[in-house]
Amino acid sequence: MSVRGTKIEIQGLSQRYPTRKVPTFNRVDLVSPPGEALAIIGRSGCGKSTLLHILAGLTKGTEGRILLNGTEVAGPSPRWVMMFQAPHLYPWMTVTENVGVGLTFARWGKKEIAERVNDAISLVELQEFAQANVQDLSGGQQQRVALARSLVMEPELLLLDEPFSALDAFTRAALQKDVRSISKRLGFNIVIVTHDIDEAVIMADRAVIMAGSPGDIVHEMDVDLPNPRDRTDPEVQKLRARLMATFQEAANYRKPEVALAGAVH
């Protein structure tokens, strides 16, 4: 498998749910070069998932546009694949069938599907479960199947919406490293949405902070660390502390009343 990344350009993107008075976010601009792993950090409810859904073409923004390699995103496509917080596997399919489902949608031949699916399953190290019922897998294994299901499409861009938050700390750490190393090996872009600073530090090349109401990108920071990254590495710790401080500062700046509530603790 080999893939190339894509240049992501978000231009003046605004979104407003008809049922809410304030827009979710207003005129967001963001550029990510090919192959970059970008983390978007923000408090719950600031519009991260919404932004990711628009990037995936699953919803439309009310204003502005998104360009991938210069072409506007008009709808969902297997070239930009989203991985959700929960695996959402199809329980009537085996692991192999789940992983290959996108290729069957694209009407690939049986043999080609089998080959690509095999590669993807090896990539996430689930060979021995290839024929298993997905309901018999652990949460972490299921999320790895979901990862393989996304990777098998050889996307230019992998969108991750807090994909590991439901997992235990060990599995989470392992998968964070795996996804990063696979993306670097294959060269595709990642946009990961999270409220976990650690996750951003371990996985991203750059982190942007989204805050306020309406939400906006209020800060960004390069995560310039060697690979593979280890949580206990002092360099990682230092960057983590800096990012945390920036995050809090951004939150304070935009929402003083939240800062006050935080100071009581």
Partner 1 sequence: MSEAATPAGAAGEPGAAGLAAAQGLRRLLWGVAGIAVLAVLWLIAGSMLENNPRTTNFATFGLIPTLEAFPQLWAAGKIQAASIASGYRLGMGLGIAIAIGVPIGVLMGRVKWFQQYSNSPFQFLRMISPLSWMPLAVLVFATWDGSIIFLIAIASVWPVIFATAAGLAKVDPAWFKVARNLGASPLQMLTKIIMPAIAFDIFSGIRLALGVAWIVLVPAEYLGVTSGLGYAIEDARETLSYNHLTALVLTIGCIGYVLDGTLVMLIKRFSWHRGGAN
Interface ranges with ligand ATP (CB under 6 A): 17, 19-20, 24, 42, 44-50, 195
Closest by Cα among 175, 155, 164 to 82? 155
Which of 76, 139, 140, 214 is the binder for partner 1 (CB under 8 A)?
76
How many CB atoms are located within 10 Å of the residue 227 CB?
9
| Spatial distance between the Cα atoms of 22 and 45, rounded to a whole number of angstroms | 13
Tell me if 149 contacts partner 1 by CB under 8 A: yes
Nearer to Mg ion, 49 or 98 (CB): 49
Tell me if 92 contacts partner 1 by CB under 8 A: yes
Nearer to partner 1, 114 or 174 (CB): 114
Question: Per CB under 8 A, which region of 28-36, 39-47, 101-109, 174-182 contacts partner 1?
Answer: 101-109
Nearer to partner 1, 55 or 167 (CB): 55
Largest Cα–Cα distance of the chain, in whole Å?
62
The position carrying tokens 């024929």 is 131
Task: Work out how close the CB of 160 gets to ligand ATP at its nearest, in angstroms, rounded to a whole number.
Answer: 12
Nearer to Mg ion, 49 or 142 (CB): 49
| Beta carbons within 8 Å of 139's beta carbon, 6+ residues apart | 87, 166, 167, 168, 171
Nearer to partner 1, 93 or 130 (CB): 93
Which among ligand ATP, partner 1, Mg ion, none contacts residue 90 (Cβ within 5 to 8 A by kind)? partner 1
Q: How far is CA 148 from CA 101, 117, 174, 187, 264, in A?
A: 11, 8, 15, 16, 44
| Spatial distance between the Cα atoms of 11 and 169, rounded to a whole number of angstroms | 36
Tell me if 253 contacts partner 1 by CB under 8 A: no
Asked if 36 and 68 count as a contact pair (C-beta separation under 8 A), the reply is no
Strand partners, 42: 210
Tell me if 94 contacts partner 1 by CB under 8 A: no
Which among Mg ion, ligand ATP, partner 1, none contacts residue 44 (Cβ within 5 to 8 A by kind)? ligand ATP
